[in-house]
Amino acid sequence: MEAFLVSITSVAVAEMGDRTQLLSLLLAARFRRPWPILCGILLATLASHTAAGVVGAFFGRALSPRVMDLIVGVSLLLMALWTLKPDTLDEQDGPVRNTGVFAATFVAFFVAEIGDKTQIATVALAAAYPNLVAVIAGTTCGMLLANAPVVFLGGTFARRLPLKAIHRGAALLFAALGILFIVRGLR
């Protein structure tokens, strides 16, 4: 249960103002069909985070628990710093053509998620926790928690969020988790 709760919280908070959340806003504004967009986000996130989770689980088993805790701790501290840098949505981040809403969302979201901080967080969390299913379920639910309101409520909701405060909160969360893992690795 801890793996699920840490995963859902970490990703939901880190996703606020992230480029994939901005992509969700763009898709919602363009297509105005929330359900196919959410289905595309769900399946793209499952595919992306499953691959990231498998990589993280491999490293989690290949390295000693002490070394893994130190690596995860340092990576979470780096994630904290990265979270403080707000994302922007470049034109190449949103390659939406005249295909179906679901297909366009799936492709655009999957591509945007490659190397994204939530995908990297999934690698770190899967390395840290032995329950891969809980990590993937948590990170996927966190992604949906952060993106569903944007898809349904669009720009009105997004403009009212205190993104700087959310980014600082996410950075503090990642930093606290990083320090926790480093302390655990040094014991």
What's the distance, CA 87 to chain centroid?
13
- Per-residue HEC secondary structure of 139-179 comes to HHHHHHHHHHHHHHHHHHHHHHCCHHHHHHHHHHHHHHHHH
pLDDT at 156: 61
Cα 53 to Cα 125: distance, rounded to the nearest angstrom: 8
Query: Mean pLDDT of all residues in the chain?
Result: 83
What's the distance, CA 106 to chain centroid?
15
Residue 87 φ then ψ, to 5°: -85, 160
Q: Which tokens sit at 164?
A: 């700087």
**Would you call 2 helix, strand, or coil by DSSP?**
helix
Q: Is the pLDDT of residue 154 over 50?
A: yes
**Per-residue pLDDT tens over the stretch 36-47:** 999 999 999 999
Residue 93: which pLDDT band, with cuts at 50, 70 and 90?
very low
**Would you call 57 helix, strand, or coil by DSSP?**
helix
Q: Is the pLDDT of residue 32 over 70?
A: yes
Domain ranges of the chain: 2-186
| 49 touches 140 (CB < 8 A) | yes
What is the average per-residue pLDDT within 138-153? Answer: 93
